Structure 1
Amino acid sequence: MTVDATLTQAATPPGATTTPPSGAARPTGAAPPRDDAARRAELAAFLRSRRERITPEQVGLPRGARRRTPGLRREEVAHLGAVGVTWYTWLEQGRDIHVSPQVLDAVARALLLDRAERSHLFALAGAVDPVPGKECTGVPRALRQVLDQLAPFPAVIQNSRFDILAYNSTYGQLMCDLDALPEEDRNCMWLAFTHPQWRASVVDLDATMRVMAAKFRASMAEHVAEPAWKALVARLTEASPEFREIWAQHEVVRPISSVKLFRHPRVGVLELTATSLWTGPNPGPKLISYTPVDETSRERLEQLEQLALVPA
């Protein structure tokens, strides 16, 4: 179905109205306020830029042989967000329409927006985010299926802030019971510096904390003004003397693959190689998989998978 054909189906798509957000219609022929027009133009440009950066493969769609559009097509974004193609097209065209927070939330998820981008979207649309402070994880179902298929190898998707966006059953039990943690605590930096069971599972904890803090600082160089990054640093600074000491040294390091040792209370020590695969524009979210170095670690991963499926 083409966009032009869809535009003939309805005068006003679901989730949108052609009146100002206040509900008061302007006199016939009146021009919209200049700042509103500028804001809608900026919103349209922002949506186009986010759509064009996403590859079909990232969201589980076939590329096809005749694709000319960079990134996703408008109708693909509408389909992923379960919103009307007409409505999304009008939004990208800067039309004078009023959008609901629920529809903006769907678009944010379809476009894989992070916290900063999501906040920017709602600000441009003049709407209140229904889930403020929540990370729009942007992990499509197809990628979650990849995580599940990697078991018994532990696998996780993280962003550059070390937030845990998705994980398979084995990773969920590797260092602690992740399912039992509140979402705001599912961050590897926070867990490495504050969570007793997580810390006990890391064989070389001191070196691990220093490398993680250095990677975090290197990544933060591009996000120093973002509230979520500053809030995590403030939270760690308050909670952990170790973090305060390490953070004050201003060390930086780029991400590298490495062999890691974990000590699980029920299956023993596991020696695993960590490999990172970027799922989007670097340094965006990445999939980290852990493969066994030896046969003993492979057998213990299989035991861990069974424990994850039938926890004690």
Structure 2
Amino acid sequence: MTTTGTSTAQSTGTTRRGGTGQRRRTELAAFLRSRRGRITPEDVGMPPGPRRRTPGLRREEVAQLAGVGVTWYTWLEQGRPINASTQVLDAVARTLRLDTAEREHLYRLADVPDAAAGEEAGSLPEDVQMILDALVPIPASVANARSDILAWNSAYAAIFPQVETARPCERNSMWMAFTLPPCCNPIVNLEEVAAGQVAVFRHRYSRHLDEPGWKDLVRRLQAASPEFARLWASHDVALPGESVKVFRHRAVGEIRTRATNMDLTASPGARLVACAATDQGSRDRIAWLLANPEAAAPEHRH
């Protein structure tokens, strides 16, 4: 009888664990469909396209914007038992414009609770974009501690057009600085400022050592950029401060700026980065790009 009772308990426990996992996947599928349904193609800069049977984005559009496979995203939304990395969940969360609570909910339903606890907010107070737009013609963006670019104004997009064409999972200033090929990388003085950037990044990283999203980004950067790997191996650390950034645009030439970081108290971990032109010639070039947006767009995309 003892043996039978033990066997029954074990069987019941297994059934409950399996049932919990299935309920979680079912909840995840419904949650993703509901978040997808609230975003229109116009919200993400896509044409409306032919008549739609249901509101919101299609699955293949979410996959395209997030930079993930259509089949993988379809299986995720169908609640199939598949593994989801932090990097991919980050991209899906940004594409679906999830707020802090929704991001944590996504991670827990996807059974990645450790990531949910440490992730920084992907949404910002609604006034932030208005402030960014009011700063034009000063190029400005908002990034989190991990250097994911969360918002930007038209002047920033004019000198760094790749921010608008990058996949959400790669819209990260460290990633773009160290992985864009020379033909598309607008940062002229990267060799001069790279060591400082990596040192400041390591200073921020020290507060997030156990967070999967941070560890994943560092691994990818080390694999994609020998220069980043070399600088990372030095273990240099620095506090953030002003830095001179020189951009080159094919239509106007060099634009010299001084970047200043300002923390956003309303969104912990986020900072506003303003790149003020240091000379009149650079200000004139930014003004020209803003007046000629068709010339500011990148010639090609890798």
TM-score band w.r.t. shorter chain: 0.5 to 0.7
Partner of residue 290 from structure 1, selected from 257, 260, 275: 275
Partner of residue 257 from structure 2, selected from 272, 292, 310: 272
Structure-2 change in CA distance of 1:310 and 1:205 (3 Å): closer
Aligned: 1:154 with 2:139:
yes
Give the structure-1-normalised TM-score: 0.56
Aligned: 1:168 with 2:153:
yes
Aligned mates of 1:305, 1:240 — CA distance in 2: 32
Aligned mates of 1:209, 1:258 — CA distance in 2: 11
**2:177–2:185 CA contact under 8 A, matched in 1:** no
Aligned mates of 1:290, 1:151 — CA distance in 2: 11
Aligned: 1:221 with 2:206:
yes
**1:199–1:205 CA contact under 8 A, matched in 2:** no
Unaligned 5+ residue runs, structure 2? 1-18, 21-95, 298-302
Percentage of pairs with the same residue: 35
- Measured after TM superposition, the shift of residue 232 of structure 1 is 0.2
Aligned: 1:253 with 2:245:
no
Structure-2 change in CA distance of 1:177 and 1:200 (3 Å): closer
- Structure with the bigger percentage of helix: 2
Compare 225-234 and 250-259 and name the one that shifted more: 250-259
**2:257–2:278 CA contact under 8 A, matched in 1:** yes
Aligned mates of 1:200, 1:190 — CA distance in 2: 11
Aligned: 1:302 with 2:287:
yes
Aligned mates of 1:145, 1:197 — CA distance in 2: 33
Q: Secondary structure at the match of 1:170?
A: helix
**2:289–2:296 CA contact under 8 A, matched in 1:** no
Q: Secondary structure at the match of 2:154?
A: coil
Q: Secondary structure at the match of 2:196?
A: helix
**1:214–1:253 CA contact under 8 A, matched in 2:** yes
Give the structure-2-normalised TM-score: 0.58
| Aligned residue pair count | 200
Aligned: 1:182 with 2:167:
yes
* Alignment of structure 1 residues 26-65 onto 2, 5 Å: none
* Alignment of structure 1 residues 103-122 onto 2, 5 Å: 109=99, 112=100, 118-119=103-104
- Measured after TM superposition, the shift of residue 175 of structure 1 is 2.8
Aligned: 1:234 with 2:212:
no
- Measured after TM superposition, the shift of residue 245 of structure 1 is 1.1
Structure-2 change in CA distance of 1:283 and 1:218 (3 Å): farther
Compare 219-228 and 189-198 and name the one that shifted more: 189-198
Q: Secondary structure at the match of 2:164?
A: helix
* Alignment of structure 1 residues 88-103 onto 2, 5 Å: none
Compare 136-145 and 237-246 and name the one that shifted more: 136-145
Aligned mates of 2:135, 2:210 — CA distance in 1: 36
Per-residue Cα deviation, 1:243-273 (whole angstroms, up to 9, x for no partner): 1111111011110012322221111111212
Which residue is equivalent to 2:179? 194
Q: Secondary structure at the match of 1:225?
A: coil
Aligned-partner residue type, residue 202 of structure 2: R
Aligned mates of 2:225, 2:180 — CA distance in 1: 11
